[in-house]
Amino acid sequence: MAGTNRKRQIITGGPAIILVEPQLGENIGMVARAMANFGLSNLRIVNPRDGWPNDKAVSAAAHADHVIAGVLVFDTLQAALADLNLVYATTARPRDGHKPVRGPVEAGEILRRREDGGERTGILFGRERIGLRNWEVGLADEIVTFPVNPAYASLNIAQAVLLMSYEWMKSGLSNPHETAFDKPEVEPAPKSDLHGLFAQIEEGLDARGYFRSETKRMKAVDNLRAVLTRPGFSTDEINVLRGLFASFDRFGRPGQRMPAGTGEALDDNRGTEE
């Protein structure tokens, strides 16, 4: 599977994901995949319609084998929740005002704090067609609901699990802008490398008669250096550019003038007088 790296340590643990009477094995498998994406591994299933194990779930899990292997199956919701200290019920339907209602960001942060404090937590998801019944929501401590389009608020199980799993993972980051895939550290090139690039380009432009006057030359060189100093090139990047420009010399002759209009952006005075 693209994006899977079995050499890296698998992140596991976190809140239990509890599916109430799921109908399709494919949906269970996609839930397992979403959980594995964001470091959750405790999947509990209450009275699955097609029984367990389920070959379609295994196929849809896309190698989230550790989640599938650890699935716990229960006959009743009460049994699935018995060892948990805090449970969220996910729903998009209006309910009575007896339970706190959280958004996914806040719920993820609360789950993280409670788990870090040694408590066992869970997130409850309902059936594909009708979601959770009122009495099932009543067994949860709080409700979590997603900021969705009010006219199209229904999410499938895997989508809902993915959103909460993402918020769980994000709540554990020391920096909200942190990513798992950092760009490689590159040391900026010394100015001598950059000056060598300038000299090479200017020499090539001179050989082709690009500079039509000294005034034009000064303006073009200033603009060129402004463009090339902006990115903060590394030495390797400058070497790539120097190799590129060097290749041009194999296709031109000293003294050959560039076609009219070529490179106008370099010496464009943008309305200023010479």
For the segment 78-127, what is each residue's pLDDT rounded down to a tens digit? 999 999 999 999 987 766 668 899 999 999 999 999 999 999 999 999 99
Of 3.40.50.970, 3.40.1280.10, 2.30.30.280, 3.30.930.10, which CATH number belongs to 16-171?
A: 3.40.1280.10
Cα first-last separation, the chain = 61
CB atoms near residue 27 (< 10 Å): 22
Verdict on whether the full-model pTM lies above 0.95: no
So what's the pLDDT on residue 26? 95
Which pLDDT band holds residue 219 (cuts at 50, 70, 90)? confident
What average pLDDT does this structure show over 18-46?
Answer: 96
Which of 31-45, 175-189, 208-222 has maximum average pLDDT?
31-45
How is the chain split into domains, by residue range? Answer: 16-171, 183-274
So what's the pLDDT on residue 255? 52
CA dihedral 178, 184, 185, 187 (to 10 degrees): -140
So what's the pLDDT on residue 260? 45
pLDDT for 3 beyond 80:
no
Phi and psi, residue 197, nearest 5°: -65, -45
Which pLDDT band holds residue 7 (cuts at 50, 70, 90)? low
Is pLDDT larger for residue 188 or for residue 49? 49
